[in-house]
Structure 1
Amino acid sequence: MSHLKTHMNKVLVVGGGIAGMSAAIRLREEGVKVDLLDKDPNWSVYGTGLTLSVLTFRALCDLGLSKELLKHGHGHDGVTLNDKDGNLIREVRSERLFAPDVPAEGGVLRPVLHQIMAARVKELNTNVKLGVTVESYSQDADGVDVTLTDGSTGRYDFVIGADGLFSTMRDLTLENAPAPRFTGQACWRILFDTPKDWVQGQMYLSQDIKVGFTPCSPTQMYMYLLEAVPGNPWREPEELPGLIKGLLEGFGGVVGKLRETINADTEIVYRPLESILIDDDWYKGRVALIGDTVHATTPHLGSGAGMAVEDAIVLVDELKKAPVLEDALHAFMQRRLPRGRLVVGNSLKLGELEMAGAPSEQQGKLMQDSLHAIAEPY
């Protein structure tokens, strides 16, 4: 029996990533029947590690995943900033937002987070359908009639589109929605074993390259490097080891040592960064959009995943409070759009400052202001 004041009994969630699984978890906890779709028949996930900012770590803990994150991921309270040679510039400490005995931030392997969340989705008896997504839908005042890509149909009280950056649901729901745009940067990621004496994140700064390391399991960390690539060139997989070693040339200390271990067999993830922000309502009638579908950000604030979780928590929270759907969705937008503007806007601005070679003091101030802002309640 649904506990939502909007009297929803059956909801369709389109997309089995972080946003969609978070929505399914929250809805099932409220007694709502949920069909969760993912177009990947294997429901697999691509990626290495994920930095959990204070925003993201708190949101996942609020979702009930703190024990699993601390067991399988890595929790810590800050990051050290170092120069190119490995000399300490300063340490940045973060406030513990979830609980005094739970670290402020952390990291997790992307596939591990998927496994943790998928296990919770299944534990709550969510009806998961794989290898299928929405072909089309129509809605009236009382519900949404949906046709799936396998030809099956269904009627739902509410539909949540959480199918990511290249969303079908966004195109079906919002007229003249913008396409994601390339930001001018790309992100490199490589997994390494964590040095024994490391207890938190580390960043190494040169004039034009920022390299960071986030511990994301009890034994592993991932390296991330942001590169300006204005022309967005295609790069063949066999080129990647040589290119990343070139970018890391001149770094000393642990970065220099790790550079020497990169070879043709090293697994390297290279991804041009694209972003989108729908600066208007994320819903139409009985269909609402959340996560990267409406506010895909760059990794500069480590908050893309957390924003998706926050969306789901806030959406279900408002559906619980307001008996009229339109009122609930309006309240949802009042809470989420300003935060979307903040996280996406400041992340893009940080990238622009990096590409422009802005003074480290200017970049540092914007980063500090942004971290303070994302720690505010959502």
Structure 2
Amino acid sequence: MGASGADRRVLVVGGGAAGNAVAILLRRAGVPVDLVEAGADGNASAGSGITLQGNALRVLRELGVWEQVRASGFGFGSVGITAPDGTVLHVQDDLRTGGDDLPATLGMRRPRLQQILLAAVRASGATVRLGTTAKVLGQDADGVSVRLSDGSEHRYDLVIAADGLGSATRAAVGIADKPEPTGMAIWRVEAPRPAGVTRTDLAYGGPAHIAGYCPTGEDTLYAYVVEAHRDRTAIPPASYAREMRRLTTHYGGFWPGITAHITDPAKVNYTWFDRLLVEGSWHRGRVVLVGDAAHCCPPTLAQGAALSLEDAWVLAQLLTASGTWDDALFQAYYARRIARVRPVVEASVLIGRWQLDGVRDADVPGLMARTMTMLRELP
């Protein structure tokens, strides 16, 4: 293929963190990009809060959205470990995985992050189609034929599958890997932030394995409790607020004030923890996976969004630096990412397993420190 980015057309399937990021970076290099997202609102109403470590903020700065993110979120530099009654047992400084000129951690409302990223995609000149899905019809050595849900058919030099954990594109190109439940689940809700909450605090023990919260702005936080997963069909969505309150009423400190606001079941999210790590390669021909379509792990290290954003950064670097988009390039992308992603997935799953099994002498701080130290290096 020729070296000119403008000679190539790329389809990005999925408008989450990874899809939006890779679209922005490819457009910056002059590559024509179409982005399709199944959600009619571009995921702008999805989720409650998100914890972004420094290595995620480093990529957001590269995307040109860091100032908006900083203004919209709440940065902090430590995590508190508390007893279930709220007594602070230990405060640990967070490692600045994005470098010393960025906060160690920033919490923000997930819908706000989506709005910022989607606006940046539009401003980049990418063509955005919301409420749209894509189906790979076939491919050859030079490109991929795709049919969109509006019935139109298109030809692309590359399809980037950023369509998440249940990626239909991953399955369509013959990658059989599927997410597997880890045995844990999480309840999440957004609530007003008490003035004294200026960092993440985590309580281990009580009726849940973990009860925690993260400030997401001047007057908001998101709170969560982690427990062994239950049969989702046995928990009616109308009972979500009641079920989460049943767990959080056993925690002290700032929790009573938070629990008082867990009243609307529509604002409570219940999700199982899953594990996924596609091995061998993250591409088939000219279809390549990024983000949750390639890997996913429990949020015990809060690295999900960061790893997805790093995927986009690395893939865009390789694509824009090379005149040839071929198996060697995509395998180089996989090799760079798997060496970094695998230890995070394995550590995240192991921490959860230790909790489920009640392992009392587990070196959680040591494992976390080793993993986060690795993430300080550029991806």
* TM-score, normalised by the number of residues in structure 2: 0.92
Task: Evaluate the alpha carbon distance shift between residue 185 and residue 265 of structure 1 in structure 2; reply closer, same or farther with a 3 A threshold.
Answer: closer
Task: Evaluate the alpha carbon distance shift between residue 216 and residue 257 of structure 1 in structure 2; reply closer, same or farther with a 3 A threshold.
Answer: closer
Q: Is residue 55–residue 98 contact of structure 2 (8 Å, CA) maintained in 1?
A: no
Task: Evaluate the alpha carbon distance shift between residue 5 and residue 308 of structure 1 in structure 2; reply closer, same or farther with a 3 A threshold.
Answer: farther
Q: Is residue 184–residue 231 contact of structure 1 (8 Å, CA) maintained in 2?
A: no
The code of the aligned residue for 1:13 comes to V
How many angstroms does 1:292 deviate by?
0.5
Q: Is residue 81–residue 202 contact of structure 2 (8 Å, CA) maintained in 1?
A: yes
Task: Evaluate the alpha carbon distance shift between residue 266 and residue 253 of structure 1 in structure 2; reply closer, same or farther with a 3 A threshold.
Answer: farther
Quick check: 31-40 or 356-365, which moved more? 356-365
Matched, 1:269 2:269: yes
The code of the aligned residue for 1:192 comes to A
How many angstroms does 1:361 deviate by?
4.9
Measured in 1, the distance between the counterparts of 2:264 and 2:147 equals: 46
Where do 1:166-185 residues align within 5 Å?
A: 166-175=166-175, 177-185=176-184
Quick check: 41-50 or 154-163, which moved more? 41-50
Task: Evaluate the alpha carbon distance shift between residue 220 and residue 252 of structure 1 in structure 2; reply closer, same or farther with a 3 A threshold.
Answer: same
Where does residue 309 of structure 2 map in the other structure?
309
Q: Is residue 23–residue 33 contact of structure 2 (8 Å, CA) maintained in 1?
A: yes
Where does residue 358 of structure 1 map in the other structure?
359
How many angstroms does 1:298 deviate by?
1.6
Matched, 1:201 2:209: no
Where does residue 282 of structure 1 map in the other structure?
282
Q: Is residue 135–residue 169 contact of structure 2 (8 Å, CA) maintained in 1?
A: no
Matched, 1:291 2:291: yes
The code of the aligned residue for 2:112 comes to V
Where does residue 224 of structure 1 map in the other structure?
224
Task: Evaluate the alpha carbon distance shift between residue 372 and residue 5 of structure 1 in structure 2; reply closer, same or farther with a 3 A threshold.
Answer: farther
Q: Is residue 185–residue 229 contact of structure 1 (8 Å, CA) maintained in 2?
A: yes
Where does residue 322 of structure 1 map in the other structure?
322
Where does residue 11 of structure 1 map in the other structure?
10
How many angstroms does 1:3 deviate by?
11
RMSD: 2.3
Where do 1:85-164 residues align within 5 Å?
A: 85-98=85-98, 100-164=100-164
Measured in 2, the distance between the counterparts of 1:143 and 1:262 equals: 50
Q: Is residue 248–residue 255 contact of structure 2 (8 Å, CA) maintained in 1?
A: yes
Task: Evaluate the alpha carbon distance shift between residue 357 and residue 249 of structure 1 in structure 2; reply closer, same or farther with a 3 A threshold.
Answer: farther
Residues 266-290 of structure 1: CA deviation (Å, up to 9, x unaligned):
8311112223111120112211111
Task: Evaluate the alpha carbon distance shift between residue 210 and residue 322 of structure 1 in structure 2; reply closer, same or farther with a 3 A threshold.
Answer: same
SS at match of 1:358: coil
Quick check: 303-312 or 236-245, which moved more? 236-245
Task: Evaluate the alpha carbon distance shift between residue 169 and residue 121 of structure 1 in structure 2; reply closer, same or farther with a 3 A threshold.
Answer: same
SS at match of 1:75: strand
The code of the aligned residue for 2:180 comes to R
How many angstroms does 1:261 deviate by?
4.5
Q: Is residue 54–residue 99 contact of structure 2 (8 Å, CA) maintained in 1?
A: no
Q: Is residue 57–residue 102 contact of structure 2 (8 Å, CA) maintained in 1?
A: no
Where does residue 342 of structure 2 map in the other structure?
341
Quick check: 117-126 or 78-87, which moved more? 78-87
How many angstroms does 1:99 deviate by?
5.1
Residues 20-39 of structure 1: CA deviation (Å, up to 9, x unaligned):
11110010011000010112
Task: Evaluate the alpha carbon distance shift between residue 323 and residue 261 of structure 1 in structure 2; reply closer, same or farther with a 3 A threshold.
Answer: closer
How many angstroms does 1:229 deviate by?
2.0
Where does residue 368 of structure 2 map in the other structure?
367
The code of the aligned residue for 1:34 comes to V
Tell me the number of residue pairs that the alignment of Structure 1 and Structure 2 aligns. 376
Measured in 1, the distance between the counterparts of 2:253 and 2:67 equals: 34
SS at match of 1:154: strand
Q: Is residue 74–residue 218 contact of structure 1 (8 Å, CA) maintained in 2?
A: yes
SS at match of 1:132: coil
The code of the aligned residue for 1:184 comes to G
Task: Evaluate the alpha carbon distance shift between residue 6 and residue 345 of structure 1 in structure 2; reply closer, same or farther with a 3 A threshold.
Answer: farther
Where does residue 34 of structure 2 map in the other structure?
35
Residues 222-252 of structure 1: CA deviation (Å, up to 9, x unaligned):
1111111265553112322332233234322
How many angstroms does 1:73 deviate by?
0.9
Task: Evaluate the alpha carbon distance shift between residue 311 and residue 280 of structure 1 in structure 2; reply closer, same or farther with a 3 A threshold.
Answer: same
The code of the aligned residue for 1:369 comes to R
The code of the aligned residue for 1:16 comes to G
The code of the aligned residue for 1:110 comes to R
The code of the aligned residue for 2:354 comes to L
SS at match of 1:276: strand
Where does residue 255 of structure 2 map in the other structure?
255
Measured in 2, the distance between the counterparts of 1:41 and 1:267 equals: 19
Q: Is residue 161–residue 170 contact of structure 2 (8 Å, CA) maintained in 1?
A: yes
Quick check: 120-129 or 59-68, which moved more? 59-68
The code of the aligned residue for 1:40 comes to G
Measured in 1, the distance between the counterparts of 2:6 and 2:286 equals: 13
Task: Evaluate the alpha carbon distance shift between residue 214 and residue 364 of structure 1 in structure 2; reply closer, same or farther with a 3 A threshold.
Answer: same
SS at match of 2:359: coil
Q: Is residue 3–residue 32 contact of structure 1 (8 Å, CA) maintained in 2?
A: no
Matched, 1:46 2:46: yes
Residues 320-362 of structure 1: CA deviation (Å, up to 9, x unaligned):
3333323321211111112221222111111111111222653
Task: Evaluate the alpha carbon distance shift between residue 97 and residue 244 of structure 1 in structure 2; reply closer, same or farther with a 3 A threshold.
Answer: closer
Measured in 2, the distance between the counterparts of 1:6 and 1:28 equals: 9
Measured in 2, the distance between the counterparts of 1:300 and 1:55 equals: 16
Matched, 1:80 2:80: yes
Quick check: 178-187 or 244-253, which moved more? 244-253
The code of the aligned residue for 1:197 comes to G
How many angstroms does 1:7 deviate by?
7.3
Measured in 1, the distance between the counterparts of 2:251 and 2:302 equals: 24
Q: Is residue 52–residue 106 contact of structure 1 (8 Å, CA) maintained in 2?
A: yes
